Amino acid sequence: NAGVMQNPRHLVRRRGQEARLRCSPMKGHSHVYWYRQLPEEGLKFMVYLQKENIIDESGMPKERFSAEFPKEGPSILRIQQVVRGDSAAYFCASSLAGGPDTQYFGPGTRLTVL
C-alpha cells in the first residue's frame, strides 16, 4: 500500500517564479491537507480539501497561494511570484474521511527560493 506521495522532493525557484507542488493521497483517501514548516518551527496548517472542494483555507496566505484537488489527479499547491520567505518544507497529508480519521503525511517538498 503506497503511502502519501509528494513531488518534487526538492524544488528550487528564483524570486518571481511559480512553484507547483504535487500530492497524491493514499489509495482510497479523498481528504487532503497541506501544511508548511518553516525552519525550527512546527507545521502550520494551510488548507483542507476534498475532491473538487476547498473545505477550510483559513491558514492560506491571502495572496499568491492557491490549492486544488481535482476529480482526477493529484492535489496541487501553487505559489505564484515566490519570495524568499516562501522557502520552507511543504507537507501534504491525507485521510480516509474527515473528522476523527488519522492524517498520514507525505515526505514533504523542500522549496528553496533564491
Partner 1 sequence: AQTVTQSQPEMSVQEAETVTLSCTYDTSESDYYLFWYKQPPSRQMILVIRQEAYKQQNATENRFSVNFQKAAKSFSLKISDSQLGDAAMYFCAYRRWGGGADGLTFGKGTHLIIQP
- Chain contacts with partner 1 (rule: CB under 8 A): 31, 33, 35, 40-46, 48, 55-56, 58-59, 89, 91, 93, 95, 98-100, 102-108, 110
Least separation, in Å, of the C-beta of 12 and partner 1?
A: 17
**Number of other residues whose CB lies within 10 A of the CB of residue 114:** 10
Phi-psi region of 62 (alpha: psi -120 to 50; beta: other; left: phi over 0): alpha
Nearer to partner 1 among residue 19 and residue 48 (C-beta): 48
Least separation, in Å, of the C-beta of 81 and partner 1?
A: 25
Cβ neighbours for 91, distance < 8 A, ≥ 6 positions apart: 6, 34, 35, 36, 37, 43, 105, 106, 108, 109
CA angle 88, 85, 111 (to 5 degrees): 30
Nearer to partner 1 among residue 17 and residue 68 (C-beta): 68
Nearer to partner 1 among residue 20 and residue 105 (C-beta): 105
Q: Which grid cell is 42?
A: 512546527
Least separation, in Å, of the C-beta of 3 and partner 1?
A: 9
Nearer to partner 1 among residue 1 and residue 102 (C-beta): 102
Least separation, in Å, of the C-beta of 18 and partner 1?
A: 24
CB 97 within 8 A of CB 28: no
